[in-house]
Chains A and B, each alone.
Chain A
Amino acid sequence: MARGTVERYLHELDEELQDLPSSRRRELLEEIREHIGSALDRAPSHEEAEIRNVLERIGDPAEIAEEARERFGIQRAKPGLRETLALVLLPVGGVIVPVLGWLVGALLLLSSRVWTAKEKAIGVLLLPGGLLPAAGMGLAADRTCSSIEVNGVVTRQICSGGIDPVAAWAILAVLVAVPIWTTWFLASRMRRRS
């Protein structure tokens, strides 16, 4: 549990330091890790409260990052047109211009300095194509299913694809929900940094 608190703190600091060149980032992280180690050596009980005191004296990761940016004259990456375009193109770009639209969105996301590597991986890999797979599935379902109408009222749907309509709807729901969630996730992380 104790180790977890320290690791969480260092992880948060690492994320905050992302605007710094990687060598500076590593160096600072290493020194603060040593500092925590030394502080805990002097407070041998290693209880959770003690660890929290040590981390409190070191200070808020955002504050340390702010100081580091100031010392090295680095501008904080601010969300701009690139980020807005990425957030639009990732979900719907692939539907407007199949595959290519999404690809442009993915490249914008990857080249942005606002998101961390992990967030970028989620944005690109969780559902490549954005809403394109959902749109594709919708079209395919239209083609394979035929309705039987009696006096203008649909009484039965026959799907030749062999997929149970309930399962098809469930898959479709996931294919729609995942890109929307991903976009919301990236947007909320972005807002936190602006």
Chain B
Amino acid sequence: MAVLREEERYAFDLVRDLAEMDGLVISEGTIYPMLARLRRDGLVETTWRESPTGPPRRYYRLSARGRKALREFRNEWSIFRDAVDGLITQEENDG
């Protein structure tokens, strides 16, 4: 979802980028069920846009609810990250 933070994305580019991300070992095809689930939960929306070449293209973007969920997750994540960082530095100091 963070990938959709700034702008709406063409479904194909979005999926290619997600599949190529470091640390995530997933095939392109398995991303579509994830997107479908996010869409069913109302966190992302799709729209069709005309393409200069070829048929219209499907674009994904965050919905208002998706934006809110992402904000909340980032807050939680930074709290979690700070806690882990704290633990690691503490261990380093102790060791």
Contact = CB atoms under 8 A, between A and B. Distances in A.
Contacts of B28: 35, 57-59
B54 A67 contact: no
Contacts of A70: 33
A68 B55 contact: no
Given A34-B58, A39-B12, A58 B36 contact: no
B30 A28 contact: no
Q: Which of B11, B33, B36 has the most CB of A within 10 A?
A: B33
B9 interface: no
A63 to B, nearest CB: 6
B11 A68 contact: no
A149 interface: no
Interface SS of B by simple majority: helix
Nearest to A28: B32
Interface SS of A by simple majority: helix
Chain A interface bracket (under 10, 10 to 19, 20 to 34, 35 or more): 20 to 34
Interface residues of B, number: 20
Interface string A30-48: 0110110111010000000
A32 to B, nearest CB: 6
A59 B58 contact: no
A58 B30 CA distance: 8
A27 interface: yes
B55 A37 contact: yes
Interface string A54-85: 00011111011001101110000000000000
B37 A34 contact: no
Interface string B28-42: 111011111100100
A28 B15 contact: no
A34 B29 contact: no
A61 B27 CA distance: 10
B33 A35 contact: no
